[in-house]
Amino acid sequence: MTESTYREPNVSQSRSHSPQASTSSIPGGTGTNPPNQSRTTSTIRSTETHTFQADTNSDKATAAFIRRVLCSHNVLLGNGEKAGNTPRPIEDVLPPLTSSNEIDLQLYGIISVIIKEFVQTWYSKITPDHVFVNEVVQIIAHCTRAFEQRLRKVDLEALLLDEIPERLEAHLTSFRLANQHVSSTNSLVSNPRLIYHTLHPHPALSPVPTELVPSTVVEQRENESAWRQLLIQGVLVLLLPTEDLENGCLRSLVAEIFAEMILGNGISGKACEGWTLWEGITKIAESLQAVGAKEKDPPSADVNPEPSLTRLERYGLLSLPIEKGSEPKQPLVDSKRHHETIATVISGLFWAMLQYTLLACTAMRVVALTVAAPSSLPSRAIVSEQSSESTHQSQIPQVDALGLRRPLGVKRPIVSMRLWSCAAQFVELDIRMPWLLGFISMLRLGTLVGPGKVGDTDGVLDRYLSHAIHTHVLNPASLPDILRTVRSTLFPNNTMGPSRQTPSEEEAKEIKRNCAAALLDIVPLKVAAAFFATTSHDAQFRQVEETLDCFDDAYLNKHLIFQIVELIVIRLFPELGEQGVRELMEERIE
């Protein structure tokens, strides 16, 4: 009832602002309507739907939705606030989730949808009391604040640019090795899953499921379910307050929701499918293509159909070509043509020299700014607490991708992180252009140990790259927009969206082809012709599709996704890498 009263004003408001909407709603015969009225009506409806969805995603509508779900019956309002008074801000009504009010608003929007769809649907049938909802909000707030404190201690640069790409690079190498071994004529093992699992064993994915032995499929699913429960139980032991941790019923309920709904259906289910990964790559490629299109100059509105003239001809310094059917006013002699040719060559050389001079000045300006800017940027030589503890416990020197040893606890340079080698492995640069890979490796080594060590930790290039990453990738200001987009995608109009149907085999192939086309559109034509060693678009397309085969098997993708999930959990909760869940539980409950 409350939801309908909230949506109706927004719909009516969006219709009242649209003059066409009021016109289209007037009843009348079909003879008086224009031929394209059906198309106009559909356009009006799509405009109203878009306006309504934009209204529900606005900060004002989100705050109103949060109040109706989490602050109903003035349970959490307090301080004598009444319905007729001006509503108080959300940050004054609900406990803070993080240190940012903008992020809290979007997180509470997601939490409100989850509580409305998964808690109030059955809890309101038992009792009209809202104490349980208030306790859930308090527990979530406690966990998110503790999560934020742990997140501040994680080296996000190393996690996103070095450790996760290292897992992806190992996945690519093992996948191609397993398929190459199976395709050989003298191979005794014909199952690439078994070879891959032997190279990267995981307890949740053992044994290798096969249709020939149905018991292996059931056993693997049970092991995977036990792994999810163990992982979530370990996280809850470190995040939940002591009094809530002692409540076994509450702990089991929360663990079941996160283990089965998020890890089971979301990450272990759809996120490991090949078509899901291909769709994600397609969206990234389309966003990059859109950014590149914006940087290009817009095409000129005035298009001159006449052939282009040289600068000398445009300014009247050379005679124009003679039109057909007209006689020349003066006979052309060879000496005049010779002088015109020389003048044209001199003009071309002059403009070319001017362009190269401007290009050199621009390059020198960029280099000067690059050298001067990092002096005011923060230093990267600061050792994080987590990296210092882990390295001192292991007492093993750090070795980067180029084989260079680093002192204990010192951050790895961005130039030597695994992101670059992972990108080279993904496009098979060592096979297609080994000379280019060697040249890039030589440049990387030169920036690390060469004159000035500009690429070494806290060097000029290292600081500049770190600043660019924190500005464009790890910018906290973009997190509210990301959360708003996630909420509108997963929960359109603050409700559960229709579940995504698993595509058929032909639909999955079409998704893969779209992904290959999007990736190929990013590469310039000349670069693609040189890289793929062919100018045929079909041949280039087939090679990109073969590259995307590394995400075809969902079982193999689970090895990669599970390793990334465990890596993130260990970086956020390093206690789980030192002690078991039972030991941590005994320490908390005692």
> Which residues fall within 8 angstroms of residue 38, CB to CB, at 6 or more apart?
none
The whole-angstrom separation of Cα 343 and Cα 336 is: 11
Q: Mean pLDDT: which of 53-57, 131-135, 275-279 is highest?
A: 275-279
> 304 pLDDT exceeds 50?
no
> What digits encode the pLDDT tens for the residues 260-301?
777 887 788 888 889 989 998 998 888 888 766 665 555 444
Tokens coding 374: 């990092």
Q: What phi, psi does 210 have (nearest 5°)?
A: -140, 145
The model's pTM is: 0.73
**Quick one: DSSP state of residue 76?**
T
pLDDT of residue 545: 93
**Residue whose token pair is 């990013």:** 522
Burial annotation 18-56 (CB, 10 A radius, 16+ → b, else e): eeebeebeeeeeeeeeeeeeeeeeeebeeebeebbbebb
> What digits encode the pLDDT tens for the residues 80-107?
444 456 777 888 888 999 998 999 999 9
The whole-angstrom separation of Cα 264 and Cα 485 is: 23
The Cα-based distances of 351 to 54, 311, 338, 345, 346 in angstroms read: 51, 10, 20, 10, 9
**Residue whose token pair is 């003059």:** 19
pLDDT of residue 91: 83
Q: Which carries the bigger pLDDT value, residue 257 or residue 151?
A: 151
**Residue whose token pair is 């940012």:** 100
CB-based burial label for 445 (10 Å; 0-12, 13-18, 19+): middle
pLDDT of residue 292: 64
pLDDT of residue 57: 76
Q: Mean pLDDT: which of 35-39, 48-52, 230-234, 397-401 is highest?
A: 230-234
pLDDT of residue 143: 87
Q: Which carries the bigger pLDDT value, residue 76 or residue 264?
A: 264
- How many CB atoms are closer than 10 A to CB 502? 11
The whole-angstrom separation of Cα 269 and Cα 25 is: 45
**Percent of the residues in the chain that have a pLDDT greater than 90, as a whole number:** 25
> Mean pLDDT over all residues of the chain?
76
Tokens coding 590: 């005692």
CB 15 within 8 A of CB 48: yes
pLDDT of residue 364: 80
User: What is the average per-residue pLDDT within 527-533?
Assistant: 91
- HSE at residue 89, side-chain half, CA atoms within 13 A, is 7
Q: Which carries the bigger pLDDT value, residue 247 or residue 313?
A: 247
> 557 pLDDT exceeds 90?
yes
Nearest C-alpha neighbor of 106 from the set 477, 483, 496, 485:
483
pLDDT of residue 457: 84
**Quick one: DSSP state of residue 405?**
E
The whole-angstrom separation of Cα 450 and Cα 115 is: 58
Q: Mean pLDDT: which of 30-44, 499-513, 558-572 is highest?
A: 558-572
Tokens coding 518: 């999007």
Q: What phi, psi does 461 have (nearest 5°)?
A: -65, -35
pLDDT of residue 370: 62
- Residue by residue, DSSP assigns 314-334 as HTTSSPPPPPTT---SS---H
> 450 pLDDT exceeds 80?
yes
Structure confidence at residue 494 as a pLDDT band (50, 70, 90): confident
User: What is the average per-residue pLDDT within 351-362?
Assistant: 84
**Quick one: DSSP state of residue 82?**
-
CB 181 within 8 A of CB 171: no
User: What is the average per-residue pLDDT within 504-526?
Assistant: 92
Nearest C-alpha neighbor of 467 from the set 567, 369, 546:
369
> 391 pLDDT exceeds 50?
no
> What digits encode the pLDDT tens for the residues 5-49?
333 333 333 333 333 333 333 333 444 444 444 434 444 444 444
- HSE at residue 153, side-chain half, CA atoms within 13 A, is 15
Q: Which amino acid is at 63?
A: A
pLDDT of residue 258: 80
> 456 pLDDT exceeds 80?
yes
Structure confidence at residue 363 as a pLDDT band (50, 70, 90): confident
Structure confidence at residue 485 as a pLDDT band (50, 70, 90): confident
The whole-angstrom separation of Cα 414 and Cα 564 is: 20
Nearest C-alpha neighbor of 524 from the set 532, 336, 443:
532
Q: Which residues pair with 289 in a beta bridge?
A: none
Q: Which amino acid is at 11?
A: V
pLDDT of residue 410: 75
Q: Which residues pair with 399 in a beta bridge?
A: 405
